[in-house]
Structure formats: C-alpha cells, structure tokens
C-alpha cells in the first residue's frame, strides 16, 4: 500500500508540473513569440556585419560574391611591390654569350623607359642576347639569339630592319629620363672618347670601353653628353658616371620613337670585335 501511495504522489506531482507549464506558456505565449523574433533579428544583424565588414576577421558562411570581392587583391599587391623593388635596381639587359659577358642597364630600372634593338651599321658588332620581356618583334628573320629569358623586366622591342648586313639585336638603344646619370654597364677601361658627326649634321661623341678580361672586345656608345670620363679611366659597372643622355628628340625623329612614346633621349650601345687601327 505504501508503494502504491508513493507512486500515486509522483504521478500527481508530474501532472501538477505539466499543468503549471501549460498554464505558463498559455499565459506568456505572446512574450515568448516576441523574444523569438528579436533573437532572429539579432542573428541576421550579426550575419550582415560579418558578411560586409569581415569583423572580427571572420567571414559568414552566408557571405556572397560581394563580400569576397571586397577582399584585397593579393596578386596585384605582390606585383606592385615587385615593381617598386625592380625600380630601384640596376638590372642586366643583355648578354654576349660567346664571351660570357653580361651587360647591365646604365641607370636604375625606374629611370629606364624601354629598349629597342636594331641592326648595326658596323659589321664588327656582335649579337646581343636580350634579357627581359619581349613586347614586339618586327625583324624576326634576322634574330640569331634566344629571346625567352623568362624575366619580367626590362621590356624591349626588336625594331624593323634597316637593311644592314648585321643581326637584329646588334645594337641596343636604351631610352631614359632626361638628365639621368648614365652609369657604366660593365667593368672595364676607357679606350676611346672622340667627337664625330652623325647623319652628316649632328655633333656627337663616341666612347669605347674594353671590358675587363676581354681585350678582344670593345663596347661602343653614342648619344652621351656632359662626358665625365677620359681615355685610360677604369670604370665600374653601376658606379662610374659616364655622362647624361644626349637629347636629340627636338633635332630628328629616332626609330625608337615609333615604339616608346612620348619620345625620350636614348643611349646607343653595342659590343664590337676589336680590330687595331691600321697604320697609314
């Protein structure tokens, strides 16, 4: 009897609790419904904040394409950073592979406006093997060196044929900012600094440097003004100032002007086989 009485009390208490809960929810149903709506609205606000601002460094699983588009373009940032680093450097621009000689730009990359290769009028000129990114090749059949250096800079063009017997890359015309310091592109010794007239009208100066360790070669330059070196001087690549680019842009139109706009002064550079002057 005591056992049945105990069971009856438990059943009675559970029934009483059930009635109280039912009565409570019946009485407060509207408030619970309102609380539920407020909770849903709060969740939606948080989702919107995460989706459109990313705060606090989280992304909602409901964020769509718009949220993704607001993220920084890491590839573009990396490219911009690389461009800034390259602009401050003096980069190699060509090789004379037969002699394992590398030629460097005569100024920081940020001051260089482009390079145009063309045929030399001197049959002693060697082919230069470009280093950098080829933009256009308009003399393909006279190219006898590899062009795939896989370097992003400097950019270069191979210009149209001039009808010479030499190869398409036997001269490099390097365009640069006006009044830029023209630096030696190799280590070597100055062997010639002499005046000459180009196109039967314009005064210019020809410079020749014997590359260190290669007495059989001469690197020749044209279109340099305010000369700072003399015969016998030792020059160091990237350190010795040779002068500034001679500005002929107002005097005549260069072939390079068809590729690099607006026109900039340029320095003419080529590597020649050395042939001693014959006595008269």
What tens digit of pLDDT does each residue of 154-188 get?
999 999 999 999 999 999 999 999 999 999 999 99
Contact of 253 with 199, CB cutoff 8 Å: no
Q: Alpha carbon 85 to chain centroid distance?
A: 8
Which of the listed residues 69, 96, 124 is the one where a domain comes to its end? Answer: 69
- The tally of domains found in the chain comes to 2
- State whether 169 and 106 are in the same domain: yes
- Binning pLDDT at 50, 70 and 90, where does residue 223 land? very high
Question: Which H or E element spans position 130?
Answer: strand 129-130
Residue 49 has pLDDT above 90, yes or no: no
Residue 88 has pLDDT above 50, yes or no: yes
Residue 69 has pLDDT above 60, yes or no: no
- State whether 30 and 125 are in the same domain: no
Tell me whether residue 175 is in a domain.
yes
Q: Is 74 left (phi over 0), alpha (psi -120 to 50) or beta?
A: alpha
Per-residue pLDDT averaged across 216-230, rounded?
98
228 Cβ contact list (under 8 Å, min separation 6)? 241, 242, 243
- State whether 165 and 247 are in the same domain: yes
Beta-bridge partner residues of 20: none
- State whether 199 and 83 are in the same domain: yes
195 Cβ contact list (under 8 Å, min separation 6)? 203, 204, 205, 206
Beta-bridge partner residues of 272: 125, 218
Looking at per-residue pLDDT, the higher value among 18 and 41 belongs to 41
- State whether 179 and 59 are in the same domain: no
- Binning pLDDT at 50, 70 and 90, where does residue 38 land? confident
Residue 224 has pLDDT above 90, yes or no: yes
- State whether 133 and 178 are in the same domain: yes
Which of the listed residues 16, 37, 69 is the one where a domain comes to its end? Answer: 69
Per-residue pLDDT averaged across 21-36, rounded?
64
pLDDT of residue 63: 39
> 207: domain CATH number?
2.70.70.10
Average pLDDT, the chain: 85
Per-residue pLDDT averaged across 91-118, rounded?
97
Residue 57 has pLDDT above 50, yes or no: no
Tell me whether residue 280 is in a domain.
no
Per-residue pLDDT averaged across 23-51, rounded?
69
Specify the pairing of strand 112-118 against strand 155-158.
Answer: parallel
- State whether 180 and 250 are in the same domain: yes
pLDDT of residue 2: 52
Residue 65 has pLDDT above 50, yes or no: no
Give the residue among 114, 120, 176, 166 at the shortest CA–CA distance from 144.
166
Which of 18-22, 102-106, 231-235, 238-242 has the lowest average pLDDT?
18-22
Say what the pTM is: 0.71
The dihedrals phi and psi of 234, each to the nearest 5 degrees, come to -90, 130
pLDDT of residue 148: 84
pLDDT of residue 67: 37
Contact of 29 with 45, CB cutoff 8 Å: no
Q: Which domain holds residue 148?
A: 79-273
- State whether 24 and 162 are in the same domain: no
- State whether 64 and 83 are in the same domain: no
Q: Which two tokens stand for residue 85?
A: 């680093």
Tell me whether residue 74 is in a domain.
no
- State whether 30 and 153 are in the same domain: no
Looking at per-residue pLDDT, the higher value among 154 and 19 belongs to 154
Tell me whether residue 278 is in a domain.
no
- State whether 163 and 94 are in the same domain: yes
pLDDT of residue 61: 39
- State whether 127 and 49 are in the same domain: no
Tell me whether residue 115 is in a domain.
yes
């Amino acid at each position: 009897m005591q056992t049945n009485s105990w069971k009856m009390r438990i059943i009675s208490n559970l029934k009483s609790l059930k009635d109280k809960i039912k009565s409570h929810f019946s009485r407060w149903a509207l408030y619970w419904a309102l609380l539920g709506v407020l909770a849903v609205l709060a969740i939606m606000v948080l989702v919107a904040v995460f989706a459109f601002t990313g705060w606090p460094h989280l992304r909602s699983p409901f964020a769509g394409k718009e949220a993704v588009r607001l993220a920084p373009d890491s590839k573009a940032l990396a490219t911009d950073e690389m461009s800034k680093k390259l602009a401050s450097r003096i980069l190699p621009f060509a090789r004379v592979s037969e002699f394992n000689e590398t030629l460097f730009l005569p100024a920081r990359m940020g001051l260089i406006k482009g390079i145009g290769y063309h045929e030399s009028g001197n049959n002693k000129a060697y082919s230069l093997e470009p280093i950098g990114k080829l933009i256009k090749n308009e003399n393909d059949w006279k190219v006898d060196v590899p062009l795939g250096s896989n370097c992003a800079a400097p950019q270069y063009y191979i210009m149209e044929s001039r009808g010479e017997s030499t190869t398409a890359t036997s001269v490099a015309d390097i365009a640069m900012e006006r009044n830029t310091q023209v630096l030696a592109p190799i280590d070597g010794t100055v062997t010639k600094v002499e005046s000459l007239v180009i196109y039967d009208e314009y005064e210019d100066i020809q410079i020749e440097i014997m590359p260190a360790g290669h007495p059989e070669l001469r690197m020749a330059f044209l279109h340099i003004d305010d000369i700072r070196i003399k015969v016998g001087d030792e020059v160091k690549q990237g350190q010795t100032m040779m002068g500034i680019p001679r500005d002929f842009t107002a005097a005549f139109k260069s072939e390079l002007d068809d590729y690099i706009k607006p026109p900039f002064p340029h320095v003419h550079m080529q590597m020649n086989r050395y042939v001693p002057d014959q006595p008269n």
